[in-house]
Amino acid sequence: MGMTITEKIIAAHSKYETVKPGDIVDIFIDARAARDFGGANVVKNLNDFGLRIDDPARTLFTFDCNPTGSDQKYAVNQHICRQYARANDIKVYDINAGIGTHLLIEEGYVWPGATAVSTDSHANILGAVGAFGQGMGDMDIAAAWNNGKVWFKVPASVRINLNGDLPAGVSAKDVILNLLKIYGANTLLGYSIELYGKSADRMTLDERITIASMATEMGAIIILFPPSDEIISYCRNRALVPFEPVFADKDAKYELTADIDVSTFSPMASRPGEPHDTVAVGELPLTKIDSAFIGSCTNGRIEDMRTTAGILRGKKVAPGVILKIVPATDVVWNECLAEGLIEIFKNAGALVSNAGCAGCAAGQVGQNGKGEITVSTGNRNFPGKQGQGSVYLASPAVVAASAVAGYITTPDNIPSTPAEFVRASTQQVTAKSKPLGDVAPPPTVLKGRVWIIERDNIDTDMIFHNRYLAITDIREMGQYALDNLEGYRNFAKEAKPGDIIITGKNFGSGSSRQQAVDCFISLGVQAIIAHSFGAIYERNAINAAFPVLTYDSLVTIDLKDKDMITVNLITGEVTNERNGLTTNVNPFYDAQYDIYTKGGLLGKI
């Protein structure tokens, strides 16, 4: 039986000739990156465990979350990283360079068939060039920096054929938003997606980056494009080593194969709160905006900038609307300058910032305030992710047109007179702090009170908001647990040591932040039992020796909120102490149990 692209890349970087879905293998990592928000934690782990750097030439820092260094806590973290880099001959792509995942491609650290890890949950963006990139928490990155490898569970693969021709006015961003409408946030949870078909084959690097960057929002491990001749040539001119591109075998086995007619696609927007809550722009009610943002790892490329300039040329941003534009990398920024695009942006009334993640990172250009309505080219619009207002997601063309119109619209429907805007309002409640309890030896049977949170797709910004990402002391983290999840903002105040959380599908989707696990450890929560987990969140929990288990159904034990249950981590047996009813969840697998008994991933190195 042949292998898919993902399986062939993983096998080539492991000690095995072939791998199959479900195998857990150690993988050699070609490029190992840490960003400014996760970098200080990586350094802390390396120092705390006395670990050294395996290969400085493959190891790098990318400062893209706070490229202005304007936040004092970020500035401290960046300085920690710089000092460590100087002492260990590690390359730093500092605050003038741009988004790390894009730099990995631009600077030749990855190529078709390569592997890479980063503290960026969108490291799977590297699927745009046929590389296997993964976002991971700071423990994983520290392990990769130390021994050059990380463990990984081989995902099953899905093949999606994009058939037909894209209609005029439908961009790569619209393609991924249409796919999100079809598959939602968890239908393809944990899968590796390969895109084929005439429309996929024709896509440029910039278009492939846009689509690959939103694999995380689909719950997928990665979206991979078989590399075209254009992509291979681009990478050969940059790659640090010679390479041969990787393609799926003709007899590769896919869990699912789907044929999708892209000729039916239309310009789309994601409504506030969930990237997968998409609707055709033409079906939206008149939605007046306060601000617009063009940038992020999803739409900060030169093609996005040219599209934006084509719409803004000779026009002005609507009165009362703020348009913020941030190129993805300094290379893109300089291309904008050379082509006269910066002048067009400024003449239209836009604010142009230096390269970086911008609106996706707290405190940066692109954030909005309470009551503000924003249309953004970013990849996430979780509550609080891009500020405290409401965020719609759309393509650069739609965002630029909307900035001129004053409401969300397409380029062919810009009015001669822009609309006035109205503001909405939101409220935020912050949880109180709670002390960290004593750490007990790891038991194999847990008994505790349950919190039943009957929701799917609880993302890491709901669990531990990005405004707290500069916190590195676990004792400070518990007070912020779930304080951005509506209905549970007092969770930290009401939780007790020993509690167990039971929840729905795709728990922990979104960012790679380790704090979204550590905040529960800080509170003394014993375990989380979910129908399914976001891939990065699950491995972060396992690496921290924090019990996470999955279930198919718990209906038979008539479980109610605040019931006491007993959970056997080895057998998976769960007993409701109130009625004595028993069922089974999926128990620890061997690798998880080994890490758990060692007290965490780094404790065994």
Q: Divide the 605 residues of the chain into consecutive groups of 10 and give the mean pLDDT of each group.
A: 96 97 97 92 96 97 84 86 97 95 97 97 96 95 97 97 96 97 95 97 97 95 97 97 97 97 97 94 94 95 98 96 96 98 98 89 80 93 85 97 97 89 48 45 93 96 89 93 95 97 96 95 98 96 97 96 97 97 96 94 75
The three-class DSSP label of residue 516 is helix
Instruction: Return the SS3 of 306.
Output: helix
- The amino acid occupying position 210 is T
Cα separation of 336 and 312, whole Å?
Answer: 14
Torsion of CA 331, 336, 337, 339, to 10 degrees: 120
- Shortest CA distance to 367 belongs to which of 423, 317, 292, 289? 292
Q: How far is CA 414 from CA 121, 315, 391, 493, 598, in A?
A: 35, 11, 20, 49, 61
Task: Give the C-alpha separation, 485 to 482, whole Å.
Answer: 5
Q: Rounded to 5 degrees, what are φ and ψ at 520?
A: -75, -40
**What single-letter amino acid sits at 347?**
N
Residue 308: its H or E element? helix 302-312
Q: What's the confidence (pLDDT) of residue 1?
A: 80
* CA distance linking residue 388 with residue 367, whole number of Å: 8
Residue 386: its pLDDT value, please? 81
Alpha-carbon gap, residue 451 to 482, rounded angstroms: 12
d(CA 351, CA 279): 28
Q: How many separate helices (H) and strands (E) can be counted in the chain?
A: 18, 25
**Backbone phi and psi for residue 478, each to the nearest 5 degrees, phi listed first:** -60, -35
Residues with Cβ < 8 Å from 291, sequence gap 6 or more? 321, 322, 323, 324, 368, 372, 373, 374, 375
Q: Measured between alpha carbons, how far is 378 from 425 in angstroms, rounded to an integer?
A: 22
Distance CA 532, CA 538 (A): 9
Q: Radius of gyration of the chain from Cα atoms?
A: 23
Picking from 353, 371, 373, the residue whose alpha carbon sits closest to that of residue 361 is: 353
Listed residue (546, 446, 449, 428) closest to 494, CA to CA: 449
Q: Write down the pTM of the prediction.
A: 0.86
Token pair listed for 112: 């078709």
Torsion of CA 304, 309, 315, 318, to 10 degrees: 30
State the DSSP H helix or E strand holding residue 143, giving kind and residue range, or none if neither: helix 138-147
Is there a contact between 388 and 423 (Cβ–Cβ < 8 Å)? no
Task: Write out the H or E segment, with its range, that includes residue 5.
Answer: helix 5-12
Helix-helix angle 172-183:205-212, to 10 degrees: 30
- Listed in order, strand segments (DSSP E) in 184-321 are 192-196, 222-224, 256-261, 268-270, 278-280, 291-294
Structural domains of the chain sorted by starting position, each given as residue range(s) with its CATH number in brackets: 5-264 (3.30.499.10), 268-413 (3.30.499.10), 445-604 (3.20.19.10)
pLDDT at 466: 84
The per-residue pLDDT for 436 is: 44
CA-CA distance, 548 to 587, in Å (whole number)? 9
38: tokens are 């996760």
Q: What is the DSSP string of 223-247?
A: EEPPPPHHHHHHHHTT-SS------
